[in-house]
Amino acid sequence: MNKEQMTDAIVAAKTQLNLSWEKMGVDLNMSPVWLASACLGMNSAPAEKAAAISSYLGLGEEVTSALIAFPTKIWDQAVPTDPLIYRLYEVVGVYGETLKEVIQEKFGDGIMSAIDFSMEVDKIEDPKGDRVLLTLNGKFLPYKSW
Amino acid sequence: MNKEQMTDAIVAAKTQLNLSWEKMGVDLNMSPVWLASACLGMNSAPAEKAAAISSYLGLGEEVTSALIAFPTKIWDQAVPTDPLIYRLYEVVGVYGETLKEVIQEKFGDGIMSAIDFSMEVDKIEDPKGDRVLLTLNGKFLPYKSW
Amino acid sequence: MNKEQMTDAIVAAKTQLNLSWEKMGVDLNMSPVWLASACLGMNSAPAEKAAAISSYLGLGEEVTSALIAFPTKIWDQAVPTDPLIYRLYEVVGVYGETLKEVIQEKFGDGIMSAIDFSMEVDKIEDPKGDRVLLTLNGKFLPYKSW
Amino acid sequence: MNKEQMTDAIVAAKTQLNLSWEKMGVDLNMSPVWLASACLGMNSAPAEKAAAISSYLGLGEEVTSALIAFPTKIWDQAVPTDPLIYRLYEVVGVYGETLKEVIQEKFGDGIMSAIDFSMEVDKIEDPKGDRVLLTLNGKFLPYKSW
Amino acid sequence: MNKEQMTDAIVAAKTQLNLSWEKMGVDLNMSPVWLASACLGMNSAPAEKAAAISSYLGLGEEVTSALIAFPTKIWDQAVPTDPLIYRLYEVVGVYGETLKEVIQEKFGDGIMSAIDFSMEVDKIEDPKGDRVLLTLNGKFLPYKSW
Amino acid sequence: MNKEQMTDAIVAAKTQLNLSWEKMGVDLNMSPVWLASACLGMNSAPAEKAAAISSYLGLGEEVTSALIAFPTKIWDQAVPTDPLIYRLYEVVGVYGETLKEVIQEKFGDGIMSAIDFSMEVDKIEDPKGDRVLLTLNGKFLPYKSW
Amino acid sequence: MNKEQMTDAIVAAKTQLNLSWEKMGVDLNMSPVWLASACLGMNSAPAEKAAAISSYLGLGEEVTSALIAFPTKIWDQAVPTDPLIYRLYEVVGVYGETLKEVIQEKFGDGIMSAIDFSMEVDKIEDPKGDRVLLTLNGKFLPYKSW
Amino acid sequence: MNKEQMTDAIVAAKTQLNLSWEKMGVDLNMSPVWLASACLGMNSAPAEKAAAISSYLGLGEEVTSALIAFPTKIWDQAVPTDPLIYRLYEVVGVYGETLKEVIQEKFGDGIMSAIDFSMEVDKIEDPKGDRVLLTLNGKFLPYKSW
Amino acid sequence: MNKEQMTDAIVAAKTQLNLSWEKMGVDLNMSPVWLASACLGMNSAPAEKAAAISSYLGLGEEVTSALIAFPTKIWDQAVPTDPLIYRLYEVVGVYGETLKEVIQEKFGDGIMSAIDFSMEVDKIEDPKGDRVLLTLNGKFLPYKSW
Amino acid sequence: MNKEQMTDAIVAAKTQLNLSWEKMGVDLNMSPVWLASACLGMNSAPAEKAAAISSYLGLGEEVTSALIAFPTKIWDQAVPTDPLIYRLYEVVGVYGETLKEVIQEKFGDGIMSAIDFSMEVDKIEDPKGDRVLLTLNGKFLPYKSW
């Protein structure tokens, strides 16, 4: 079972059980963002988490193994077209140089890791229109000389 | 004075006065991220903020006018090469579909605005290596039918 | 049933019943442009509208569910080739900077939303050749400082 | 004097005289959108209109000649990055197939001309947020067989 | 029956009957170029012509309907690779600016329509090597001011 | 003197003398299309023609030499944006496969040369709108086996 | 039978009979390079050669017809990745301008035809490492004025 | 003196002295193709050859040093547009797979080196039109296992 | 059996037998990197090695033949997206010019072969985090003059 | 003084003093690869190393400051054309998937850092042709779940 078949199986079970990533995350004690990325095939799950996800959804060992497998992370669109994803791309384009200035002023020359990294999505209710709060948390990695 | 000349003048004054975006932000009561993006020419400043920035840096009206001008936001690299900026692009590529799932589950069909939007950078000190905390805060905009 | 299968089912029924988007829009009290975009899979339909469309076409719950699902909006051609669509792309290329000047002069720094947005197509009969009238109506979103 | 120098001269005079495209359009009895596109170098002006624009701004014959010259219409970004212009591009991407369906249903096989074409920008005041109204008006050109 | 299946059916019948586009055009009183483009799916045929083509080839109503359908004109290669087609692309690259100069000198600012357009292919026999004569005939469309 | 400087000198003289490519072609007994392409730097002129052009325009030996020089034919836009040139590109995209069918049916496997090639532009006056007639004349080159 | 199926059939027969392009070329009195290009579907074969190839390989009329058919020459990679083919591309990149200088110095303004063209591959044995000798032979085509 | 300035100096001297690459190659006992590529800046010259070239052209040590410098080989057009160079690119596209088949059949798995490589241009006079003979000679490099 | 089917068969057997590339390399006396590249279809195996691999995994002659076949090396992404592979691409981008400087200073003008080439992966255990050691070993190929 | 001016100053001094990166590295106790990358502007130098480099070359404080500045790492060619750099790109293309298999088998799911990273170039003398030894040493960064 490859990652795509795994995703189909998981999404079908999730729909059947009328679950949300939010509820699954709370019940399984995992972040909904990480959980969704593992189930969509963009991250591998440690063995015990993979087993917990499969069991929770009533799925078998094939799904567990597929969750454990190390994915090759591929995206087709260098510039994404879906408006929700494009807006994030636009933020990188508009604020990329700015973030480089501000982060490197605070931390020195280096980068924010996208590997030793986590991310959360929160909803801030607001009478003028609810707001999305994205929190990215990555280890700072300094360049080294040698 | 165009935006590039403005940025050169501001960065020269900032270096001369040995300032950081952080300190400028605190002293001027503006977010360092927004302040840097305005000074780098990727956002326009309201008139009173533009005047405050110029005055603080000992610069003249030409800089104030250039800060007020509405920028055309252009970036040359569809896929950025600088590692700090590329990692943000990579986050959009790896987690774009996941964020779409989780945000739309929480809010319905729509997007997070990149216009009615703010962003902050924080440093979390950690003995195993400091961490960068990026917080993105955008209004949710639902699609409408008509 | 995914969006493509949904579109096939809807178009087959529409052809069978000899309907036009125009007539469907009038009968269902929906804009023909929005209706067509939902049926082609580029917008999600609110539940009651989805049910109304399916029922009107004599189609079942699978179609209703597929109409409700939130689409991932993807287009393959960065520069479209079909002449009707290319002409619209050409208008954006030729008049993009002009529209930026005129809109921002009228409204301040900001954009026209493509989310809080509607569009209509009208026909103006003219002995020298009928004319297409496209009306785009989007909320103005001002940039904010923070 | 080439088109770029012409635009610089016109924009400098316009700023000096504290004019808007709107006011210039009203005073000169020309559409502000067309007027701006001619002054930005993306359309040629008929001789008498070119003379009227130059005279109104207190500019000389070189500007008149440059306004009359036939431009080569070039844009560098196949996918525009400025958010205001990108949103228009996004509308073409999201609604292109839909517009093809609706226009060709109404008019037969053919296109909306981008040459025999005009466009207007209006502001609709709205307590929930003003709205931009873009009106595109193009002659329908039917395909012919031979 | 979609356009691709239609083309397969037509080409199979044409091969079976040992016909050429030339002969078909003469017998059906249609231009061979237009006829071929309709049969290859790049133009729609008016109803009576579609019926005449199907009948001539001994094909049924499905082919007639497919010929009538309005095509979405798509080509995959921005720069074509087949040498015959590339040479035409090269002509546009080498002579594009020249044609703009000569056409606009003769007609004023505007374009040659590719919609109100026809094209013919002729063979000029020549002992030093036969020559291909391509004739393109398009309506001149002047830009308008407004 | 390189080709760009040559074109500037020629166009300045042509404007000064109030000439058209058409009149120059008639007076010099050269095709206006070829003449314009040589003057724009996309073709080299044989020595006697180069001398005749320079002399006619009152220009010197440097221009003659530059006209004789063999150009490197470069165009920057794989897909042209100017509408007049794009329409020609569109013709290649829409009719490329069709022309391949019709030409190779008439001539066998091979191509129309873009080197042993000439082209003319004519104006057909028409009360419903004048028409542009482009005639391309290229030697047929058959593929060979070996 | 299309060209791809033809190639599969030919390659299977060639493997079965333990043949090389070299031996086939010698036995059939055809150049191995041309023979391979025809069998891989990038050139059409004259009728008698097509029949000879099919007969030699014990294949039927369908293969003969497919060999005769005029191919559409398509390659997917603008920049090839396979190292053997990339090295040839690199030669064009590194030596393209040089070859233009040297060829046009020898022949005048014009090109080497890729249609009236043949190519051979030879092996030069050398104790320091065998060498590949590629010989390209194309008719010189001079540009013409008109 | 960088490579571009070197090329300008060499080409100016060559024009002044009315030389050809051919004559220079004969007089200097170097291949005209290699000589031209070194003078155009796409290959470095060994010290004694560099000195010989400079001395022959009456140029100084700066040119000698620039000829010796190791170039960074850059070309801007992934797909060349000049017809002479494009035809070579087309040969790689049309015959790339064929050459891979024929070379690897003769030599085993490996490539023809573009580094341990030479190339010549010859003219074959022919009453039906002279022919260009390009000879590429590269060392075969076998892949190794380890 | 093509290379993709071969890879599927090998990976299935490897999983079944619970093997690693490391262990297979040790047992078969082949480098794990080379072995993996041959099994993934990016290198051909000499006959005896191919037979040894198949036999070791309990696979048949079809796999042996497929391992021996010369691959066409194709990759789809000019810029890879998987983070592990992208980091290698980034190293080439960041350090490419540097490596050119340092290698050519040491060896003269030339390149490191990617054909007469081997590579190893080692693990350096480190309490602050294990390190990956990649060793690339390629023959230096000097440019030649001729 | 920006990074480009810094590089020009450093390379001029290095040439003047007849130094190599190798000798500079030994004398300054820095790796030649890192040293060259800092001097070419692709890495920042810690303050004391920057001072040591400037002092060693007899350059002033402006160079020291420019060496300390944090660079924006930009490369223009997604696919490099210089053969030495292209071969490294080819290695990533041919062996990228293989390295992913072998590294992740040894270390688990994660990447080799290009930030906490060093690289060396060595020369292995060999009578059959010297060999380049590139050693890349990067910290392994495991993906984390959260």
Percent of chain F at pLDDT exceeding 90: 100
* Contact yes or no for E135 and F140 at CB 8 A: no
Domain architecture of chain I: domains with CATH: 3-68 (1.10.260.40), 83-142 (3.30.1160.10)
Chain C residues within an 8 Å CB radius of F83: 90, 94
* Residue in I79, I83, I94 nearest the CB of B79: I79
3 state DSSP class of B2? coil
pLDDT in tens, I17-35: 999 999 999 999 999 999 9
Predicted local confidence at residue J125, as pLDDT = 97
Q: Please indicate whether, in this complex, the C-beta atoms of G145 and F34 are within 8 angstroms of each other.
A: yes
pLDDT category at E7 given cuts 50, 70, 90 is very high
* Catalytic choice (I48, I55, I62, I87): I87
Phi and psi of G122, rounded to 5°? -130, 160
Which H or E run includes I4?
Answer: helix I3-16
Interface residue of A31, A109, A118 to substitute, partner J, most J CBs within 10 Å: A109
Q: Quick: pLDDT tens for I122-131.
A: 999 999 999 9
Average pLDDT for residues C53-80, to the nearest whole number? 98
Amino acid at H80: P
Contact A82 C75 (CB under 8 A): no
**pLDDT tens-digit readout, H24-79:** 999 999 999 999 999 999 999 999 999 999 999 999 999 999 999 999 999 999 99
Mean of per-residue pLDDT scores for chain C? 98
Q: Is I49 helix (H, G, I), strand (E, B) or coil?
A: helix
| Average pLDDT, consecutive stretches of 10 residues, N- to C-terminus, chain A (146 residues) | 97 97 98 98 98 98 98 98 98 98 98 98 97 98 97
- Alpha-carbon distance A126 to nearest alpha carbon in chain B (angstroms): 9
Q: Which of D75, F82, F87, D113 is nearest to C98 (CA)?
A: D75
Full DSSP string of E91-144: HHHHHHHHHHHHHHHHH-SEEEEEEEEEEEEEEE--TT--EEEEEEEEEEEE--
> Mean of the per-residue pLDDT values for chain D?
98
Please choose, from the candidates A115, I137, B93, I119, the residue with its C-alpha nearest in 3D space to the C-alpha of residue J115: A115
Which has the closest alpha carbon to C121: D107, D122, E70, B145? D107
In contact, C134 and D99? CB cutoff 8 Å: yes
Q: Both tokens of residue G44?
A: 């059409």
I90-121 per-position pLDDT tens digit: 999 999 999 999 999 999 999 999 999 999 99
Whether residues C74 and A79 touch (CB distance < 8 A) is answered with: no
User: What is the arithmetic mean of pLDDT over D61-85?
Assistant: 98
Quick one: pLDDT at residue I90?
98
Taking CA–CA distances from G65, the nearest residue in chain E reads E15
pLDDT (0 to 100) of residue J107: 98
Evaluate whether I79 touches I18 at the Cβ level (below 8 Å).
Answer: no
DSSP class of residue J17 equals T
The pLDDT, as a whole number, for residue C64 is 98
> Would you state the pLDDT for residue A81?
98
Using DSSP, state whether D27 is helix, strand or coil. helix
**Residue G16 carries which side chain, given as an amino acid letter?**
Q
I71-95 pLDDT, tens digit each: 999 999 999 999 999 999 999 999 9
Name which of I7, I14, I95, I123 to mutate to probe chain J: the one with the most chain J Cβ atoms within 10 A of its Cβ. Answer: I95
Residue in D82, D88, D90 to test binding to B, most B beta-carbons within 10 Å:
D82
Q: Inspect the interface and report whether the beta carbons of I114 and G83 lie closer than 8 Å.
A: yes
Q: From D84, which residue of chain C is nearest by alpha-carbon distance?
A: C111
Interchain contact, G72 vs E82, CB within 8 Å: yes
Q: Where are the beta strands (DSSP E) in chain I?
A: 110-124, 131-142
Q: What is the pLDDT of residue I1?
A: 93
Whole-number pLDDT of residue H100: 98
CB B114 within 8 A of CB A87: yes
What backbone torsions phi and psi does residue C68 show, to the nearest 5 degrees? -75, -30
Chains in contact with J, where contact requires at least 3 CB pairs less than 8 Å apart: A, B, G, H, I
Residue B43: per-residue pLDDT: 98
Average the pLDDT over B63-88 and give the result: 98
Mean pLDDT score, D105-118:
98
Cβ-contact J143, J110 below 8 angstroms: yes
Distance CA H121, CA H141 (A): 24
Give catalytic residue positions of G: 87, 90, 113
Distance of alpha carbon A62 from its chain centroid, rounded? 22
Nearest to A109 among J44, J97, J104 (CB): J44
Interface of C with F in 71-90 (CB under 8 A): 79, 81, 83, 86, 90
Report, in angstroms and rounded to the nearest whole number, the Rg of chain D calculated over CA atoms.
18
- Chain-chain contact of G78 with E83 (C-beta, under 8 angstroms): no
CA distance C75 to chain F (A): 18
pLDDT of residue G101: 98
Reduce the DSSP state of residue F102 to 3 states and report it.
helix
Residues of H with catalytic roles: 87, 90, 113
Q: Do A86 and D90 touch (CB under 8 A)?
A: yes
Taking residue F137's Cβ as centre, other Cβ atoms within 10 Å add up to 19
**Using a CB-CB distance cutoff of 8 angstroms, which residues of chain G are in contact with residue H128?**
139
Fill in the amino acid letter for A25. G
pLDDT at residue B39 in the model: 98
Nearest beta carbon to residue H73 from set G79, G94, G136? G94
| Test mutation, H34, H53, H145, chain I, max I CBs within 10 A | H145
The reported pLDDT for the residue numbered E139 is: 98
Q: How far apart are CA B21 and CA A105, in angstroms?
A: 8
Closest approach of F29 to chain G, Cα-based (Å): 9
CB proximity H26 to G under 8 Å: no
pLDDT score for C110: 98
The per-residue pLDDT for range H106-142, each reduced to its tens digit, is 999 999 999 999 999 999 999 999 999 999 999 999 9
Q: What is the pLDDT confidence band of residue E33, given thresholds at 50, 70 and 90?
A: very high
Active site residues of A: 87, 90, 113
Rounded CA gap, D59 and D62, in Å? 8
F7-55, pLDDT tens digit by residue?
A: 999 999 999 999 999 999 999 999 999 999 999 999 999 999 999 999 9
Which position among I22, I61, I90, I101 bears the catalytic label? I90
Rounded CA-CA distance B57/B19 in Å is 9
Instruction: Output DSSP code: residue E2.
Output: -
H111/I contact by beta carbon, under 8 A = yes
User: What is residue I11's predicted lDDT score, i.e. its pLDDT?
Assistant: 97
Contact A85, B102 (CB under 8 A): no
Q: How much is the mean pLDDT over chain F?
A: 98
Residue J86 pLDDT: 98
pLDDT of residue D78: 97
Q: Residue A88 CB: number of other CB atoms within 10 A?
A: 26
**Contacting subunits of B (3+ beta carbon pairs below 8 A):** A, C, D, I, J
Closest by alpha carbon to I98, among E130, B72, J120, G19? J120
Instruction: Report the 3 state secondary structure along chain A.
Output: CCHHHHHHHHHHHHHHCCCCHHHHHHHHCCCHHHHHHHHCCCCCCCHHHHHHHHHHHCCCHHHHHHHHCCCCCCCCCCCCCCHHHHHHHHHHHHHHHHHHHHHHHHHCCEEEEEEEEEEEEEEECCCCCCEEEEEEEEEEEECCCC
Query: Which of the residues of F are catalytic?
Result: 87, 90, 113
Contacts of A74 in chain I (CB under 8 A): 77, 81-82
Q: How many CA atoms lie within 13 A of D46 on its CB side?
A: 9
Indicate the SS3 state at residue D119. Answer: strand
Binned at pLDDT 50, 70 and 90, residue B4 comes out as very high
Q: What is the pTM of this model?
A: 0.96
Q: For residue C14, name the pLDDT band (cuts at 50, 70, 90).
A: very high
pLDDT at H76: 95
Query: Residue E69: which pLDDT band, with cuts at 50, 70 and 90?
Result: very high
CA distance G43 to H95: 10
User: Does the annotation count I90 as an active-site position?
Assistant: yes
Pick the residue from chain H with its C-alpha nearest to G80.
Answer: H93
Instruction: Note the pLDDT of residue G122.
Output: 98
Q: What pLDDT does residue I128 have?
A: 94
pLDDT digits (tens, 9 = 90+) for I51-72: 999 999 999 999 999 999 999 9
> Which chains sit next to F, with 3 or more Cβ pairs under 8 A?
C, D, E, G, H
